[in-house]
Structure 1
Amino acid sequence: MTGAATPPGRPSGAAPRGRITARATSVLAPNASPMTLDGTNTWILAEPDAARAVVVDPGPRDEGHLRAVRDAVTARGQRVDLVLLTHGHPDHAEGAVRFAELTGAPVRALDPALRLGDEGLGDGDVVTTGGIELRVVATPGHTGDSLSFHLPADGALLTGDTVLGRGTTVVAHPDGRLGDYLDSLRRLRSLTEGEAGAHTVLPGHGPVLADAQGAIDHYLAHRAERLAQVEAAVERGLTTPEQVVAEVYAAVDRALWPAAELSVRAQLDHLRERGRLRRPPAHG
């Protein structure tokens, strides 16, 4: 979900296209919307001289886009050896079955229902297809099945919807949980520390972020601010998630209010679990 102001130092331009790092190339899906920003960033990862490539998030089932991704790989004399999914939302994963038909590549995901092939994908796994090293990091919160991928050779984090290139993301209640999401942000931040830490975010939507640590710090601060606003709204007597959204997200595009309501419900659950709501909100 978008709607937060872009913090200082974060790019606010268009989504990436073409080669972005030595090993990462982006192909933008034609599914722009208030929820998907410019569209879904499909990522092609490969060592510069390798014959095999990994594709992350084929995107929606759009034949032109899926063929464009395949053709971007074959134009470099490579073949798609593996498809990885950051999570199962349709704008990231709906095209995976068709893309597998086009390329013959298996699909690996945390959710068994999304897999095509014998291998799953989980926290701590290391993908080495075609010589590339890609480390799997479980980052639940946006959804329960959300994964991020650490590409150490490029100092990059592929974050799916956990960190966006512009604005902030929705905690998709009830599958998404705020406590998990905050833990995931802290885990990603730990990967940015030290001289060898990741410095670039390659997001599922929006522009590339050159200051990974700054972006994650902004997300943590934003979530703390929103949580305090929600708690204060309930203490003032607002009784339904819809009422809380209307007050706390008043400056946000109304088209995003349904997504904001999911985040509010996740925040209310988080506060309730921690005994911080003296006045329980209605579920209206």
Structure 2
Amino acid sequence: MNDELIAPGVQRVLAPNPGPMTLDGTNTWVLGDVAHQAPVVVDPGPLDEDHLRRVLEASGLRISAIWITHRHHDHTDGARRLAELASCPVMAVDPEVATGRDQVLSDGHRTVVGDLEIVAIATPGHTSDSASFLVRSPAGPALLLTGDMVLGRGTTVITYPDGDLGAYLESLELMIKLVDDHQVVEILPGHGDRVRDPGSVLRYYRKHRQQRLDQVRRALADGARSAAEVVRIVYADVDPAVWPAAEQSVRAQLDYLNS
């Protein structure tokens, strides 16, 4: 998977931080026709000078604002440095990530970059501050940037205790509605390749979560007493390298079942 032009005014710059949780690396998104205006950059990724320079070059050496999908370091560590290079603000739901009080993203916050309209939508679950960005244009189809709420392959982690399964399930329903109402043709995730069948994938995510809950219930009925014991039963077919992350999701599932 290489850097690429996704649609008119939509570019991906892949960060060099591959791993079990980041897949091929963090997707940094550049939104806007850089020949005519300063774009919005979503999720600058790690603090890697070469990557940030590539993002700046892809942006035409100017950026109007940096938007953040959620606070995790693989999405945010390069944000302050890129903001310094481009003399632009960092906008995020988490005030600790945003560069100022006026840069805190709220649900429904909207900006226009040339022909692109970008709308921030609160979609908590993976983290409490997770947001997705709906991108619309009269010249092209609607897209949805989801951070880590939806991935290009596999399923996401509920990062308990900050993440919350109940909120995640509600956000899935909201994203399904967004895809249907706005005829979204692709999800652009924080990691992995583009999701070209967003409605089906989101419905699979919903089904998968319900199946995992059923598996957790059975594991508890069979005598599992801790999150780690549940992981060994329910995630036996998953690479043990991701078991610590799976345990976070299991803790979120147990909290959900006990609520």
Q: Identify whether the pair has TM-score above 0.5, normalized to the shorter chain.
A: yes
Provide the alpha-carbon RMSD of the alignment.
1.3
CA-CA distance at 1:186 after TM superposition = 0.6
Farther-moved stretch of structure 1 (255-264 vs 217-226):
217-226
- Among 120, 129, 153, the alignment partner of 2:104 is 120
Question: Which residue does 1:83 correspond to in 2?
Answer: 66
Letter in 1 for 2:209: R
CA-CA distance at 1:120 after TM superposition = 1.4
Deviation string, structure 1 residues 205-232 (Cα, Å, up to 9, x no partner): 0000111101101110111110110011
- Among 132, 147, 162, the alignment partner of 1:175 is 162
Question: Which residue does 2:122 correspond to in 1?
Answer: 138
**What does 1:62-211 align with in structure 2 at a 5 Å threshold?**
62-74=48-60, 79-117=62-100, 118-153=102-137, 154-194=141-181, 196-211=182-197
CA-CA distance at 1:48 after TM superposition = 6.7
Identity %: 49
Count of aligned pairs between the two proteins? 255
Question: Which residue does 1:239 correspond to in 2?
Answer: 225
Q: Any stretches of 5+ residues in structure 1 without a counterpart? A: 1-13, 274-284
2:161 and 2:111 mapped to 1: Cα distance? Answer: 30
2:39 and 2:142 mapped to 1: Cα distance? Answer: 18
SS at match of 1:155: strand
Q: Is structure 2 residue 210 aligned with structure 1 residue 227?
A: no
Query: How high is the TM-score relative to the length of structure 2?
Result: 0.95
CA-CA distance at 1:72 after TM superposition = 1.3
Instruction: Write out the 4+ residue segments of structure 1 that deviate beyond 6 Å after TM superposition.
Output: none
Deviation string, structure 1 residues 126-152 (Cα, Å, up to 9, x no partner): 122445310111010000000000012
CA-CA distance at 1:85 after TM superposition = 0.2
Query: How high is the TM-score relative to the length of structure 1?
Result: 0.87
1:119 and 1:248 mapped to 2: Cα distance? Answer: 41
CA contact (8 A) 1:52 1:130 kept: no
- Quick one: higher RCO (CA 8 Å, sep 6+), 1 or 2? 1
SS at match of 1:199: strand
Q: Any stretches of 5+ residues in structure 2 without a counterpart? A: none
2:88 and 2:166 mapped to 1: Cα distance? Answer: 35
